[in-house]
Structure 1
Amino acid sequence: MALTDPNILEMPTSSESGAMPWYPHIVDWVEAELEDLSDDQLDFHDTSPEKEWMWWSCRRQVSHIAWDALVFSKRRAGHLLWPDGDVPDPINWTEHQMGPHNKWDRVLDTTLFWQIPDILGHLRLGIDWLTTLVEDHSIDLLRSETQTVRGTAFWKYVITTLPRGAHTDDPQGSSITYDLEGSLWMVFYEMLSHVRSIQRLKLHQGLQTAIELPRVGYLRLPHYWGDTDDNGPGMTRL
């Protein structure tokens, strides 16, 4: 089974250890940053075109993290989690998948999951699925599971944080191939970057952050730590 260790926060440069993310950190970090926030503080946001990182409030940030944990697990590794096809339905999958039927724009159904305890319950479930993936499967199997997708400027940018597990197939980055080792580290970094966005929203409101996040993965890039407020590369297909 793949190695997991709470002290390993970034994909090791060497492939020998095969270490995978410690996903429970995400729940701990989110809960710490949301503690004692009022509804006004949770819902503060700014939809100005030049302030993309502020478009989603703290509430929507954590809803997206929960969405990501659930949808990624099913879409990318459902065949490993539920080999008999007995996929649970904590959300309406059709309405929450990427694509033309996506009703909720990468967050949980806001009519059902608006209160923070409800969102956190779904986050914990998704984190449990991700933890099962890395604890119940070998690193060799994770590396053997590959997928090629149409690239975006965002993906071309963020895969530069990985020492392996993802690469562009052409100079333009219009095609990107991942293995599941790389994808699982990317989803950890993705969720971590949204925890950082929660911190930035709090700081913008004059609030203190609760924890010191590790500057690893996507947070090494200036757009996601907050070294710049400029909009990062977009999700338009290349």
Structure 2
Amino acid sequence: MSSPDIRDDAPGTSLFPQFAGLRELVEPEVRGLTDAQLDWSSDRWEWSRWSIRQQVSHIANVVPSWLLGRWRDQLFPEGVSSLGSAGEYVHSAKGSWLDEATYPTMGDVLQAIGRGSDLAGRVLAAETAGSLRAKEVPRPDTPPHWRQFIQAHPTGVRYDESQAGFTYLTLEATFRHLYYEVVTHLYNVQRLKRAQGLTAVVELPEEGYWTLPDWDRSEP
């Protein structure tokens, strides 16, 4: 996903219109599932170690954790009180998803995805394509799998080769990463459904990390 044809003075929303419909993308895939289906997991495949509930909760968690976490000082130097509920989230102590006690039902998690869409939309509306490309954040704790992820980023991610695991990400690359996380974990949700004999519902966008040539696309 690269948009070099979009001018720097274009609104930020023109680069990432997908964020307006994150809940609408995810919700049909989990509608009507039982708690047993949502919570099923297996150690047979790497992608099945997280349940559907955890995969969707990760989708809900990833947007605020980046925009209110790593980008907080640059994007919200005056604080986040003006954001209302869009500026609130509680991370789980058990994994990379939302706190289970605060968001106990799938409905709660889907509402959090909607708030993440709102948060992303506010940030994008306040930026231009040029500012998304220019703003940059350091990431000294970059996980090793980003050596694979970077293949999906034609621009906006660079390694500081003098420091192991140290990268810089532009705001544009951050939004690209967030969208790719949504799509790729939704792909995992579909595989988890197939592993339980269920049918996938959503026509998955063929973009993101799951489309990389060396990605594990094993099926049940």
TM-score (norm 2): 0.84
185-194 or 103-112: which moved more? 103-112
Instruction: Give the structure with the larger helix fraction.
Output: 2
* Contact 1:33–1:210 (8 Å) recurs in 2: yes
- Answering whether residue 64 of structure 2 is matched by residue 70 of structure 1, we say yes
C-alpha change, 1:188 and 1:27, in structure 2 (3 Å) is same
Q: Deviations over 1:148-206 (max 9, x none)?
A: 22332211211111110112232996222111111111111011111111011001111
The share of aligned pairs that are identical, in percent, is 27
* Aligned counterparts of 1:129 and 1:71: Cα–Cα separation in 2: 11
Cα deviation for residue 131 of structure 1 reads: 1.5
* Aligned counterparts of 1:129 and 1:60: Cα–Cα separation in 2: 21
* Contact 1:146–1:180 (8 Å) recurs in 2: yes
Alignment of 1:215-226 (within 5 A): 215-222=206-213, 226=216
Match of 2:89 in 1: 91
- Answering whether residue 38 of structure 2 is matched by residue 42 of structure 1, we say yes
Q: Which runs of 4+ in 1 moved over 3 A?
A: 15-19, 79-83, 86-89
Alignment of 1:56-205 (within 5 A): 56-79=50-73, 81-87=75-81, 88=84, 90-92=88-90, 96=91, 103-150=93-140, 151-170=142-161, 174-205=165-196
Q: Which amino acid aligns with 1:143?
A: R
Match of 1:228 in 2: 218
Cα deviation for residue 76 of structure 1 reads: 3.2
* Aligned counterparts of 1:228 and 1:104: Cα–Cα separation in 2: 26
SS at match of 2:146: helix
* Aligned counterparts of 2:7 and 2:29: Cα–Cα separation in 1: 31
Q: Deviations over 1:8-27 (max 9, x none)?
A: xx333x35446522113321
SS at match of 2:145: helix
Unmatched segments (≥5 aa) in structure 2: 9-13
* Aligned counterparts of 1:171 and 1:51: Cα–Cα separation in 2: 35
TM-score (norm 1): 0.78
Question: Pairwise CA RMSD of aligned residues?
Answer: 2.4
| Equivalenced residues, count | 208
Q: Which amino acid aligns with 1:76?
A: R
